[in-house]
Structure 1
Amino acid sequence: MIQWSRGHLFAHLASVWARTSTSFRTAPSRARALLPPAAEVNAVARGDAARTVAIIGATLIDGRGGPALPNAAVVVRGDRIVAAGARDAVDVPLGAEIVEAAGQTLLPGLIDAHFHLDGDNGLLALYLKHGVTSLRDPGAWIEAYDAARATPVPIPRLFLTGPHLDWPPPAYPSDAMLVRDPVEARRAVDDLVTRGASGIKIYFRLPLGMIEVVTAAAHERGVITTAHLETVDARDAVRAGLDGVEHVTSFGQSLVPPREAERYRQAVIADNSARRNGRYQMWSGIVADSPPAVELMELLVSRSTFVTPTLAIFERRAGEEGASEAYVRGFANMMAFVGAARRAGVRIVVGSHSSVPHAERGRAYQREIELLVESGLTPMETLVAGTLESARFLQIADRLGSVERGKVADLILVDGDPLKDISAMRRVKRVMLNGLWVEPPP
């Protein structure tokens, strides 16, 4: 006779429930295609409908991945883009405010798919001034943003998930909501979506059966799920319906022999902090073009799963304090995997994690895109990852993420050409949010 612990019993029942759920049987890509657009939780000031602004002379990178357009013109009326194209093909209305932008590059506002506030309310305005016009915090109580939402200072559009859903004992109790059975899981999803969550974040202690339940419940409510994985094989979680995976390290267990994966899994279940060193040790032996890696990438492509690598939070370099050989090699292999994943067709998006070892306050996003380029993405692929592809992941591509007629005027001007040197993205000169200019960064 099988003896079930309470936790194992609930996990088993959750798995059975999800496998028999009509919603779960829907293919993840099909389910996501049916999800409605997401809404930000903060009110964003809108440009005056009677005011027209024409930005002329800049090189336009519109976020869709096509060739850059030199000497472009983009016309904004109120909060909308009404024209975008070559300067000689766009009619600039009489009386428009003219912004001469020769020598600069015009892009859609940047989108950060993985931001953490952690009580630093001033960071939001700084991110906006550095070009990030929309962001998602995957794992904080919506109430944690109340003070920031009340400030008169402009901040990016906020797309929140609420606390991450975790299994006891939670890794971070203050940022978690515990769900111990399918009923609690569905109630948690319903409650968070009702209160404004535009996605659901699954945390790494949640068992596979519960991931299936949460994903099915989220899709029924019209939102996506994304997950930080440490104790569940990413292949199983993706097959369970996840729309996104946070952190390149979430794939480690899928890329090592089963015995090593189980040893790591048990260590993390016993002690959350075991993952700090353990994931570098694990990644130090991972080869980006190994058969398990190729198989995993093919699965991610087939399921159209978004991946937010957050490389900058894991960056360790030779010669820096505390960076052992395993740390340095592990991080190099993480970058190699991300580059290979993109070449295989995996959908990469940009997440900064807000505070990272090799960037000053407010510059984590810029460091992340530099690392993506170092990993093998082209500058254009990286800029698309940070604009239209991230908009697709956040379910806001119907109105944001690219410079097109009819879309909302979230725009940035940078000094120089980021296609030649991605560090040009550190030189943001002007930011437009919802048709209104934001003061330039200090």
Structure 2
Amino acid sequence: MKKSLRACLVFFISATLISCQNGKSEQEKKVYSTATVITAVNIIDIHDGSISKGDVVIDSGRIKEILPNLPEKDWEDGELINGEGKYLLPGLAEMHAHIPSVMWNDPQMEETLFLYLSNGVTTIRGMLGHPLHLELRTKAANNEILSPRIYTSSPSLNGNTVTSPEMAKEMVTNYQKEGYDFLKLHPGIRLHVFDEIVKTAKEVGIPYAGHVSTLVGIRHALESGYASVDHIDGFLEGLVPESAHVNPTENGFFGYNFTEKADPDLIAELAQMAKENKVWVVPTQSLFTRWFSPTPTERLAEEPEMQYMAKEVIENWVNNKNNLTESEDYDAGQWEDFMLIRKQLIKALHKNGYGLLLGSDAPQVFNVPGFSIQHELQAMVDAGLSPLEALQIGTLNPAKYFHQEGHFGEIIEGASADLILLDQNPLKDIKNMQHPAGVMVRGKWLSRETIDQKLKALSDKFKEATP
């Protein structure tokens, strides 16, 4: 690269500072021979939304330094990424992700992990674990594969897989020993079995998260100390007064059948319970704005991002949605009321609960990995969060959830270099998160050109496979 006529030459790989004959400051003379530097970029402080212009130096997968942008600074031998006029923010966490149960070197695995990265998702919390995911987690951590950072649940604990307290004790103990990050709870667990899961999990030291079984109920679930309740599951049922005498097992799709019986005045109580018991909530609102919405399947199936999924997957999604929303029990007006209550819950749990975590449930019906996080961000804004708050629940909050504050989720020196480069300010419009100019995951840079090439190859693959 050309050297500034006014800059000094420095040749130590270790970035040692030496005296400069023309009197430049020490800061202006740093040289990193193996570094990547994002120059002259608008750096977003995810804590308060303030923006400062600077140079971000990345080395060995971490943010080494953040320096004020000085036009006379000279970088030697490093990879320079021009950030002029662009905006930099931390990579996002998809806190309700799904990972294929195939070998790490299977094309389906590589494609799914890349789709997350293509939209700036640099951390995923896998919500349906498999023994293969333990190996995958290690390979991702060691940068042996191109992948977001991975946290993985155990295989599902549900009404069919765990039917007695004895089974609960054995399975929880084994999953903890095998090294899963947390337990995944699905519906159908009976109350006395659930209580044994909780008791054993606390004894062996493994968190539990996911669904709330109808025989457990949201209040007992919150008091039992879930790490997170996903989908806002059980909350709408918890808004139904006891005087309504409903059968909890007749709740329908996440409480939809009880929409007209729900009392919004009870929202504050449930938010306070979540706060007192330190229970995070993952809304997965895009699941309800897409899969469970009156939006015609034909329109969703024609969205550009669907080209990155196999034809048979799209066909399956069409059938799943039609089976759900074309039944006699489905009413678009009731869906509107249902969604209004969910938005009220989201806002209350964000403002007065323990906090929200960004998650879209992907891949799921019309939720393409990576792309669905864009729908989720918009859904959070539509529910009353500011763009900054929506971004915080995908950055700062996940780091806090995993007890990794300062390690990822913010742009500070020493943190993992998980970054999103954008052409426009996402704090002004959350839609500016779409189509990033580049993504960095643990120091590995994916330019827009690279992302587009990989996406095109994936699209071409599925086009060729279509009869």
Q: With structure 2 as the length reference, what TM-score do the two structures score? A: 0.72
Q: Secondary structure at the match of 1:143?
A: helix
Distance 1:244 1:91, change over 3 A: farther
Residue 191 of structure 1 is matched in structure 2 by: 174
Residue 303 of structure 1 is matched in structure 2 by: 277
Which has the higher mean CA deviation after the structures are superposed, 375-384 or 331-340? 331-340
1:240 maps to 2:224: yes
The Cα offsets for residues 240-282 of structure 1, whole Å up to 9 and x where unpaired, read as 121211112321221112254741x2336xxxxxx23x72232
- Pairwise CA distance, 1:437: 1.1
C-alpha distance in 2, partners of 1:302/1:382?
Answer: 23
Correspondent of 1:156 among 148, 154, 164: 148
Correspondent of 1:404 among 412, 415, 418: 412
CA contact (8 A) 2:42 2:87 kept: yes
C-alpha root-mean-square deviation of aligned residues, in Å? 3.0
- Pairwise CA distance, 1:148: 9.9
Residue 124 of structure 1 is matched in structure 2 by: 113
The Cα offsets for residues 319-364 of structure 1, whole Å up to 9 and x where unpaired, read as 6474521122212221222012212243001111014556556411
Distance 1:147 1:302, change over 3 A: closer
Gaps spanning 5+ residues in structure 1: where? 1-48, 171-176, 269-274
The alignment covers a number of residue pairs equal to 374
Q: Secondary structure at the match of 1:438?
A: strand
The Cα offsets for residues 181-220 of structure 1, whole Å up to 9 and x where unpaired, read as 1x43232122222323111122222234433432343344
1:80 maps to 2:62: yes
**Larger RCO (CA within 8 A; separation ≥ 6):** 1
Q: Secondary structure at the match of 1:57?
A: strand
**1:169-188 to 2 correspondence within 5 Å?**
170=160, 177-181=161-165, 183-188=166-171
Residue 165 of structure 1 is matched in structure 2 by: 157
C-alpha distance in 1, partners of 2:170/2:279?
Answer: 25
Percent identity over paired residues: 24
CA contact (8 A) 1:62 1:68 kept: yes
Distance 1:85 1:255, change over 3 A: farther
Gaps spanning 5+ residues in structure 2: where? 1-31, 102-107, 298-324, 326-330, 453-467
Residue 393 of structure 2 is matched in structure 1 by: 385
Q: What amino acid is aligned across from residue 279 of structure 2 in structure 1?
A: T
**1:165-314 to 2 correspondence within 5 Å?**
165-167=157-159, 170=160, 177-181=161-165, 183-231=166-214, 232-258=216-242, 260=244, 262-263=246-247, 265-267=248-250, 275-276=252-253, 279-286=255-262, 288=264, 290=265, 292-314=266-288
Distance 1:55 1:189, change over 3 A: same
Which has the higher mean CA deviation after the structures are superposed, 66-75 or 196-205? 66-75
C-alpha distance in 1, partners of 2:222/2:72?
Answer: 45
Q: What amino acid is aligned across from residue 286 of structure 1 in structure 2?
A: A
C-alpha distance in 1, partners of 2:218/2:446?
Answer: 40
- Pairwise CA distance, 1:93: 6.0
Correspondent of 1:113 among 63, 85, 95: 95
Residue 134 of structure 1 is matched in structure 2 by: 123
CA contact (8 A) 1:287 1:333 kept: no
Q: What amino acid is aligned across from residue 74 of structure 1 in structure 2?
A: V
Distance 1:279 1:127, change over 3 A: same
Q: Secondary structure at the match of 1:82?
A: strand
Q: Secondary structure at the match of 2:97?
A: coil
The Cα offsets for residues 91-132 of structure 1, whole Å up to 9 and x where unpaired, read as 886544322212222111111110123565322211112111
Q: With structure 1 as the length reference, what TM-score do the two structures score? A: 0.76
Q: What amino acid is aligned across from residue 369 of structure 1 in structure 2?
A: L
Residue 444 of structure 2 is matched in structure 1 by: 436
- Pairwise CA distance, 1:310: 0.5
Residue 40 of structure 1 is matched in structure 2 by: none
CA contact (8 A) 1:284 1:327 kept: no
Q: Secondary structure at the match of 1:339?
A: helix
- Pairwise CA distance, 1:89: 12
Q: Secondary structure at the match of 1:112?
A: strand
CA contact (8 A) 1:125 1:153 kept: no
CA contact (8 A) 2:33 2:77 kept: no
C-alpha distance in 2, partners of 1:208/1:127?
Answer: 36
Distance 1:241 1:211, change over 3 A: farther
- Pairwise CA distance, 1:150: 7.8
C-alpha distance in 2, partners of 1:239/1:147?
Answer: 33
Residue 50 of structure 2 is matched in structure 1 by: 68
1:57 maps to 2:46: no
CA contact (8 A) 1:160 1:196 kept: no
Residue 422 of structure 1 is matched in structure 2 by: 430
Q: Secondary structure at the match of 2:348?
A: helix
CA contact (8 A) 1:253 1:261 kept: no
